[in-house]
C-alpha cells in the first residue's frame, strides 16, 4: 500500500521531509505543479547550461533572464491550485500551491509520473475534498496536525500583507475542516506537532512502524537545528 504525508499547514512537515531525506533510504518532497514535468526539466537544464557558457556577460544575462522567465511562467500557470482549483478551501489556496481538487486525469498523471516511483513518500497539503478522499482512500496517510490557533497565528506572521485581506473566521473553518475530515478517514496515522517536536525519536519510530520507512537514528535524535533550550521558542513561534 502506498503512503503519503498529508500535512495541515505549519506542522513542521518540511522538517519531517528533511529528516526522511537525510536519515532514510526514501526520498520525500512536495509537488506543487502539474506532474508532467518533462518540459520544465528540459528548460532548467538549458538554463543551467547557459549559465555556464563562456559567452559575454550581457548575452548570458539576456538568455538567462529569458529562460528564467519561461520557467517562472510555466510554474505559475501549472500550479495545482490553478489547474485543479477547489472552492471549499479557497482561502488556504492563497497560501499553498497544492490546495487542489483531484480529478481522474490528475490522479492518473500522479500515478504515471510520481506514485510509481519506489522509495518515495510525498508531503502535501491536499485538502479533504470529496474527490481527494476518494482517490486517496487506499493510501496509508500520515496526518500532521497542530492546534488551529497556532496555525492561524503563523499565517499572520508569514505573510501579514496578504493576511489583512483574509477572513479569519473562514480560514479557521477551512483549517478545522481540513483536520477533522482527514483525521476521520481510515488508514491514517495522526502525528501531533508538539509530539513530533518534543518526542521526535518516538514519533519517527511510530511513523516507521506504520509506513515501513526505516529511520537510521539514535534514541537521542532530536529535530535538527533545535536543542532543548530552542524547543520552547520553536513551539512559540511556529
For the chain, 238 residues long, the average pLDDT of each consecutive 10-residue run is 95 95 94 69 46 52 52 65 94 95 95 90 97 97 97 92 93 97 96 95 97 95 60 40
Cα-based distances in Å from 38 to 75, 99, 170: 13, 22, 37
Is residue 23 within 8 Å of residue 217, measured between CB atoms? Answer: yes
Query: Cα(90)–Cα(100) distance, rounded to whole angstroms?
Result: 9
Query: Cα(64)–Cα(228) distance, rounded to whole angstroms?
Result: 45
Q: How confident is the model at residue 231, as a pLDDT?
A: 43
Query: Cα(137)–Cα(155) distance, rounded to whole angstroms?
Result: 29
Q: How confident is the model at residue 35, as a pLDDT?
A: 81
Q: State whether 179 and 68 are in the same domain.
A: no
Q: State whether 162 and 52 are in the same domain.
A: no
| Residue 228, H or E segment | helix 228-237
Q: State whether 200 and 146 are in the same domain.
A: yes
Q: State whether 94 and 141 are in the same domain.
A: yes
Q: State whether 45 and 107 are in the same domain.
A: no
pLDDT in tens, 46-71: 445 445 555 545 555 555 555 445 45
Q: State whether 206 and 114 are in the same domain.
A: yes
Whole-model pTM?
0.80
Query: Cα(154)–Cα(145) distance, rounded to whole angstroms?
Result: 14
Q: State whether 28 and 43 are in the same domain.
A: no
Using the 3D structure, point to which of 56, 77, 98 is the last residue of a domain: 77
Query: Cα(163)–Cα(215) distance, rounded to whole angstroms?
Result: 37
Q: What is the CATH number of the domain that holds 98?
A: 3.40.50.300
Domain span holding position 42: 38-77
Query: Domains in the chain: how many in total?
Result: 2
Per-position b or e across 7-18, b if 16+ CB within 10 A of its CB:
bbbbbbbebbbe
State the helix-helix crossing angle for 38-52 and 57-77, rounded to 10 degrees: 160
Q: State whether 211 and 126 are in the same domain.
A: yes
The angle formed by the CA atoms of residues 17, 21 and 24, to the nearest 5 degrees, is: 115
Q: State whether 210 and 115 are in the same domain.
A: yes
Q: How confident is the model at residue 131, as a pLDDT?
A: 98
Q: How confident is the model at residue 116, as a pLDDT?
A: 87
- CA 179 to chain centroid: 15
Q: How confident is the model at residue 213, as a pLDDT?
A: 97
Q: State whether 147 and 100 are in the same domain.
A: yes
Q: State whether 59 and 152 are in the same domain.
A: no
Q: How confident is the model at residue 96, as a pLDDT?
A: 94
Q: State whether 53 and 126 are in the same domain.
A: no
Beta strands per DSSP E along 78-226:
120-124, 140-145, 188-192
Using the 3D structure, point to which of 15, 46, 77 is the last residue of a domain: 77
Of 83, 76, 116, nearest in space to 101 by CA = 83
pLDDT in tens, 103-113: 999 999 999 88
Query: Cα(200)–Cα(214) distance, rounded to whole angstroms?
Result: 14
Amino acid at each position: 500500500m502506498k503512503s503519503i504525508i498529508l500535512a495541515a499547514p505549519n506542522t513542521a512537515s518540511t522538517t519531517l521531509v528533511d529528516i526522511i531525506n537525510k536519515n532514510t533510504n526514501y526520498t520525500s518532497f512536495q509537488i506543487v505543479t502539474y506532474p508532467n514535468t518533462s518540459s520544465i526539466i528540459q528548460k532548467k537544464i538549458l538554463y543551467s547550461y547557459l549559465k555556464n557558457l563562456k559567452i559575454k556577460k550581457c548575452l548570458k544575462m539576456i538568455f538567462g533572464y529569458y529562460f528564467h522567465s519561461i520557467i517562472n511562467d510555466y510554474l505559475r500557470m501549472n500550479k495545482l491550485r490553478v489547474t485543479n482549483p477547489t472552492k471549499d478551501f479557497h482561502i488556504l489556496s492563497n497560501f499553498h500551491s497544492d490546495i487542489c481538487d483531484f480529478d481522474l486525469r490528475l490522479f492518473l498523471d500522479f500515478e504515471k509520473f510520481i506514485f510509481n516511483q519506489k522509495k518515495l513518500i510525498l508531503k502535501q497539503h491536499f485538502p479533504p475534498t470529496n474527490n481527494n478522499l476518494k482517490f486517496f482512500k487506499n493510501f496509508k496517510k500520515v496526518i500532521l496536525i497542530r492546534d488551529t490557533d497556532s496555525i492561524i497565528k503563523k499565517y499572520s506572521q508569514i505573510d501579514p500583507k496578504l493576511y489583512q485581506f483574509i477572513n479569519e473566521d473562514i480560514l479557521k473553518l477551512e483549517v478545522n475542516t481540513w483536520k477533522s475530515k482527514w483525521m476521520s478517514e481510515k488508514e491514517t496515522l495522526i502525528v501531533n506537532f508538539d509530539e513530533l517536536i518534543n518526542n521526535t525519536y518516538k514519533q519517527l519510530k511510530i511513523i516507521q512502524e506504520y509506513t515501513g520507512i526505516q529511520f537510521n537514528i539514535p534514541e537521542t535524535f532530536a529535530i535538527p537545528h533545535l536543542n532543548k533550550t530552542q524547543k520552547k521558542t520553536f513551539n512559540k513561534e511556529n
